[in-house]
């Protein structure tokens, strides 16, 4: 499994509730989390899915995710 990180515009628990069903279906429950306390709202995913699949899944829920590359 790979660890992928994304910045998102998921801002609150209500937003989190909207992305949960799709992310659970795509990568499995407990294989992802969003840090709502970080200003960048970091989404961390443990999965073999591609970045583009995860970004598309977030978009379907009405949110934006951009790949976060560690420098």
pLDDT in tens, 7-16: 999 999 999 9
- Using CA atoms, how far apart are residues 38 and 48, in angstroms rounded to an integer? 25
In this prediction, residues 9-38 reach a mean pLDDT of 97
pTM for the whole structure: 0.92
Number of domains in the chain: 1
In this prediction, residues 56-69 reach a mean pLDDT of 95
**CATH number for position 36:** 3.30.70.100
pLDDT at 71 over 50: no
The residue range of the domain holding 47 is 2-67
Count of other CB atoms within 10 angstroms of residue 17: 11
pLDDT at 17 over 60: yes
CA atoms within 13 A on the CB side of 40: 11
Q: Are 59 and 6 in contact (CB under 8 A)?
A: no
pLDDT at 59 over 70: yes
């Amino acid at each position: 499994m790979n660890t992928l990180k994304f910045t998102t515009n998921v801002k609150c628990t209500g937003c989190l509730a909207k992305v949960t069903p799709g992310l659970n279906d795509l990568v499995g429950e407990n294989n992802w989390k969003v840090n709502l306390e970080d200003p960048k709202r970091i989404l961390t995913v443990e999965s073999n899915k591609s970045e583009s699949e995860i970004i598309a899944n977030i978009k379907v829920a009405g949110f934006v995710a951009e790949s976060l590359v560690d420098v």
